[in-house]
A and B are shown apart, each in its own frame.
Chain A
Amino acid sequence: MPRVELNVQAPDFTLNDFNGNSVSLSDYKNKKNVMVVFNRGFF
């Protein structure tokens, strides 16, 4: 089972994508839902 408090505000983060563009979670606020997938060394 997920060990979760759902409906909490997601902490913002910023990372560069692999092309060097800065991507922040807050870029999507009020615009899109975001699904974040954490791969752990798949490829």
Chain B
Amino acid sequence: MAQLRRDYENFVKLDTEILVAGPENAEAFRKYWEKENLPFIGLPDPGHRVLKLYGQEVKLFKLGRLPAQMIIDKSGKVRFVHYGHSMMDIPENRELLDLLETQLTK
């Protein structure tokens, strides 16, 4: 999250909004967002509705305790998916920004 926070402005420049979903409730989100001063849109999803949807409909994700990440372009298509194998297994911002810059700016 700190990594994304640092590069948030670069994502914004590339017309990209960041949504963070998680199982905590709204109060836990609010506290964390205030403490860390996060600019992202925080989406409490205690029932893992979105993960389940993506697991079932497009088989991108399964439930579990590992992080996952995807980028959806302006036409609504999935263009990048990362499914973590550990808590530390997250893609580099540079990789994400390169994709946005070279392929998804139009």
Give the interface size class of chain A: 35 or more
* Contact across chains for B78 and A18 when beta carbons are under 8 A apart: no
Report the separation of the CA atoms of residues A12 and B61 in the bound assembly, to the nearest whole angstrom: 15
Q: How far is the CB of B54 from chain A (nearest CB, A)?
A: 7
Q: Label chain A's interface by main secondary structure.
A: loop
Q: Which residue of A lies closest to B69 (CB)?
A: A37
* Contact across chains for B22 and A42 when beta carbons are under 8 A apart: yes
* Contact across chains for A33 and B72 when beta carbons are under 8 A apart: yes
Known: A11-B57, A33-B16, A35-B17. Contact between A28 and B33, CB under 8 A? no
Which residues of A approach B to under 8 Å, CB–CB? 2-13, 15-20, 23, 25-26, 28-43
